[in-house]
């Protein structure tokens, strides 16, 4: 073999189900790596051919036929460069593996079957795949490569098996979704495997958004002593070379470039931008429309949308009622003008009055309450959906996780929309992200950030009239939702007993709303939807204890 071997991490953004398009992307990337980087081998993410997660598409026999055709095309089209690609593999009927194959010179040199199938949080791979049992070590151009897939790297056995089978280096294909703090956990765990085996490990991760999930890339390489020697940037598709060299003692060394790390807040903001961009692009929406209220949630949503797809594809609508403050109108106009998006104003007073007149018989003798407030929200939702139907622009819902948790939202009103960028963002984080975005360039008017939050559905209304302060609420919600604390634990930690009971009841009784909410980007370890699956009808409550 030559003195140096050029291995390239192919950090790409596949589209779930688009096997043909993904194969073309692999071929293009491999040829570019070969021609511009003199690559010997390009490693792509887990289930590259189908994208991740393909979910119940894996149950369709037609998908596997497309995968097999795609593998044949890779063998035929790729010359003078090898690729390691992830794909489902059906060995016998009703037996499907999460696999990775090394293809070179028109042949498949070997295929590995994933041994550890995650079945927790957002993962349900045991629904589709059976576990592999054996190591796979493939010698190519004088180097013995051990192959593992994603979850395997969290366990000792797959890497130790590969070493025992003669591997000189571990190649790990991943589709590891982003959540706050995840990259540090990944690197710490992979370091353990490197130290246990005394082998360098190449960790290649997918990038891009897929429905609620978003993948940050951040592919990296650790040396045999656990030192990070290569890191790809976050949120970027690209080809990132790694040089492998045998020294005089025939030990394998690795080297490359270390990209800068971003702050956790920057990573989170970019996760929201990436998830929104890919949802719009991969579902072929021409544009988006946002109900801009003059409040902080819709302001941050607008900033995200413009950063994701550009101002020319974003429009906003202000829909004031008699309860809307003039500063809300002014701030919404200022922000829309500053970001150069098309902005319109549709007053809803007359529509609201028509609803009340139509309902006068049914409402007679009953006091004004949330029914009237919800009518206003639903009028706005109807207008936004009408604009969406007529123009093809997708409505972005602007609610945050704190509101979704306690039901401080209106079904078919402010919850209307095709996608909800802030669905997994607590209100306190909304403020931090808004400040972060303004640190890049001032786009959110200061008054939007500093004024007390209000739904403006009733006279002099403030969120804090019916909710605890968000600093307290969000801490309670994170413990109850994210960490599964019970009532007694929350009270023991200093929570007011009555307030804790009220918040828990609000969370539990509003599951029916969350079940009907649009999808949104997952950034925490316990997002509503794929992560947290609770029954709507349930007798489990604060007071249901066994006597």
| Catalytic position from the list 46, 373, 403, 478 | 46
What gap in Å lies between CA 7 and CA 11, rounded to an integer?
A: 13
Cα-based angle 211, 275, 270 (whole degrees, multiple of 5)? 160
Catalytic residue among 6, 25, 89, 114: 114
Among residues 6, 136, 150, 218, which one is catalytic? 150
Task: Please count the other Cβ atoms lying within 10 Å of the Cβ belonging to residue 498.
Answer: 9
Residue 373 designated active-site: no
CB 7 within 8 A of CB 244: yes
**Can you say whether the dihedral through the CA atoms of 508, 429, 296, 447 is positive or negative?**
positive
Q: What are phi and psi of 67, to 5 degrees?
A: -60, -45
In degrees to the nearest 10, what's the CA dihedral of 117, 168, 239, 1?
-140
Alpha-carbon distance of 72 to 43, in angstroms, equals 18
Enter the DSSP assignment of 236: -
C-alpha to C-alpha distance for 531 and 73, rounded to whole angstroms: 37
Backbone angles phi, psi at 238, to 5 degrees: 170, 175
**Total residue length of the chain:** 547
Mutual angle of helices 182-197 and 156-164, in 10-degree steps = 30
Nearest to 98 by CA among 112, 119, 84, 82: 112
- Closest to 352 (Cα-Cα) out of 329, 332, 377: 377
Rounded CA separation 544/163 (Å): 53
CA distances (Å), 284 to each of 200, 206, 278, 305, in order? Answer: 41, 21, 9, 15
268: exposed, middle or buried (Cβ count in 10 Å: 0-12, 13-18, 19+) = buried
- Catalytic annotation on 28? no
Residue 75 appears among annotated catalytic residues: no
Alpha-carbon distances, residue 118 vs 126, 211, 345, 448 (angstroms): 7, 19, 49, 42
Question: What is the distance, to the nearest Å, from the Cα of residue 132 to the centroid of all Cα atoms in its chain?
Answer: 28
Rg over alpha carbons for the chain, rounded to the nearest Å, is 26
Report the 10 Å Cβ neighbour count for 240: 25
Catalytic residues: 46, 114, 150
């Amino acid at each position: 073999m030559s003195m140096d071997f050029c291995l390239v991490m192919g950090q790409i953004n596949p589209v779930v189900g688009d096997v043909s398009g993904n194969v073309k992307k692999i071929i293009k990337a491999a040829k570019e790596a070969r021609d511009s980087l003199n690559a010997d081998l390009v490693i792509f993410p887990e289930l590259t051919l189908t994208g991740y997660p393909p979910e119940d598409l894996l149950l369709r026999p037609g998908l596997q036929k497309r995968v097999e055709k795609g593998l044949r095309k890779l063998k035929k089209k790729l010359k003078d460069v090898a690729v390691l690609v992830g794909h489902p593999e059906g060995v016998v009927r009703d037996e499907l593996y999460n696999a990775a194959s090394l293809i070179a010179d028109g042949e498949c040199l070997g295929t590995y079957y994933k041994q550890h199938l995650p079945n927790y949080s957002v993962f349900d791979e045991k629904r589709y795949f059976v576990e592999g049992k054996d190591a796979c070590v493939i010698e190519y151009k004088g180097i013995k490569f051990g192959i593992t897939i994603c979850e395997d790297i969290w366990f000792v056995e797959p890497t130790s098996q590969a070493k025992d089978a003669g591997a000189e280096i571990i190649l790990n294909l991943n589709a590891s979704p982003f959540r706050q703090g995840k990259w540090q956990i990944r690197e710490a765990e992979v370091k353990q495997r490197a130290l246990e085996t005394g082998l360098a490990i190449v960790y290649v991760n997918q990038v891009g958004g897929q429905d609620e999930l978003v993948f940050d890339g951040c592919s990296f390489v650790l040396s045999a002593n656990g030192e990070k020697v290569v890191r790809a940037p976050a949120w970027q598709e690209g080809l990132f070379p790694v040089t492998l060299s045998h020294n005089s003692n025939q030990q394998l060394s690795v080297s490359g470039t270390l990209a800068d790390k971003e702050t956790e807040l920057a990573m989170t903001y970019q996760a929201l931008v990436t998830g929104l961009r890919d949802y719009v692009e991969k579902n072929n929406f021409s544009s988006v429309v946002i109900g801009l209220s003059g409040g902080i949630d819709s302001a941050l949503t607008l900033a995200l949308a413009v950063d994701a797809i550009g101002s020319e594809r974003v429009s906003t609508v202000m829909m004031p009622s008699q309860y809307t403050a003039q500063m809300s109108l002014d701030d919404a106009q200022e922000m829309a003008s500053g970001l150069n998006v098309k902005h319109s104003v549709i007053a809803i007073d007359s529509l609201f009055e028509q609803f009340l007149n139509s309902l006068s018989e049914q409402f007679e003798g009953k006091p004004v309450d949330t029914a009237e407030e919800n009518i206003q929200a639903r009028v706005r939702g109807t207008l936004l959906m009408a604009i969406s139907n007529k123009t093809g622009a997708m409505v972005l819902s602007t609610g945050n996780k704190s509101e979704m948790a306690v039901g401080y939202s209106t079904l078919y009103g402010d919850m209307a929309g095709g996608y909800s960028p802030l669905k997994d963002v607590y209100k306190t984080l909304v403020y931090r992200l808004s400040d972060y975005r303004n640190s890049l360039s001032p786009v959110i008017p200061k008054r939007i950030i500093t004024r007390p939050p209000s739904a403006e559905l009733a006279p002099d209304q403030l969120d804090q009239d019916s909710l605890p302060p968000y600093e307290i609420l969000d801490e309670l919600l994170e413990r109850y939702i994210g960490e599964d604390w019970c009532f007694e634990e929350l009270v023991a930690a200093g929570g007011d007993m009555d307030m804790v009971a009220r918040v828990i009841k609000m969370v539990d009784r509003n599951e029916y709303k969350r079940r009907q909410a649009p999808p949104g980007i997952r950034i925490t370890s316990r997002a509503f939807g794929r992560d947290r699956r609770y029954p709507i009808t349930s007798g489990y409550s604060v007071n249901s204890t066994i006597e």
